[in-house]
Copies of this chain bind each other. A is one copy, B any other.
Amino acid sequence: MARTATTSDAFNAVAEPRRREIIDLLAGGERAVNGIVAALGLAQPQVSKHLRVLREVGLVAVRDEGRQRLYRLEGRSLKPIHDWVKAHERAWEARFGALDEVLDNLGR
């Protein structure tokens, strides 16, 4: 058993920085593979592989147009991540920190 496959869920797919860059780029609108290659300065096969992973977890969708393949962001698949992280939001919001509680008590 090794690490969980990157294609197993959005959490794993998004752990890779380049894939996050691709998502950031696609947030601006549909792009052909070559467009991504040019914009991010990555090698074409690498981009295709990353797109495959993103496709398998539903983070992007494809549309054929002539000899190009236009990829677009399918943001819904980011929601599980958002929900999980948000569930812990209070953990970093100062007002709920242990220190602040102490300070609040002192100032009361």
Residues of A bordering B, CB below 8 Å: 3-4, 6, 11-12, 14-17, 20, 23-24, 27, 73-79, 81-82, 84-92
Contacts and interface: CB of A to CB of B under 8 A. Distances in A.
A72 B74 CA distance: 35
A77 B85 CA distance: 11
6 contacts: A12-B15, A15-B15, A27-B88, A73-B91, A74-B91, A82-B82
A90 to B, nearest CB: 8
Nearest to A14: B11
**Residue of A77, A90, A91 most packed against chain B (CB within 10 A):** A91
Contacts of A17: 4, 11
